Amino acid sequence: MDGEALSFVAELTSTSTRGVDWEDKVPVYGRAGVPVYLLVDMRDETATVFSEPSGKGYRSRTTAPFGAKLRIPAPFDCDLDTSEFEPPTEDAEGTDNTEGTGATGG
């Protein structure tokens, strides 16, 4: 995969994708050269931004709890306000109703 076509990837974890998002995708996107990877962990109610891609993944990682501001580094250089982020709701069976991930190229 050539990450140079992507400038930013953002994903929301769900019960079914959480392990893959944290364990598999972080090093893959870093090795591919994606400059910024944002992972919103719905279970832990945190947002983590990875930057400074390298041959082993990412050299930089910053995490903020929902409700705090998270600095998104270059090439964006902005603050992400996570105060509107909400944990997933559970249905009557107690399962996570938050599904899906997304990638944005730029």
Could you read off the pLDDT of 30-76 as tens digits, one per residue?
999 999 999 999 999 999 999 999 999 999 999 999 999 999 999 99
Per-residue model confidence (pLDDT) at position 59: 97
Q: Which residues of 72-88 are buried (b: 16+ CB within 10 A; e: fewer)?
A: beeebeeebebeebeeb
* pTM of the entire predicted model: 0.79
CA nearest 8: which of 71, 50, 67, 47?
50
Higher pLDDT, 1 or 84: 84
Residue 91 scores a pLDDT above 90: no
The mean pLDDT of 70-94, rounded to a whole number, is 82
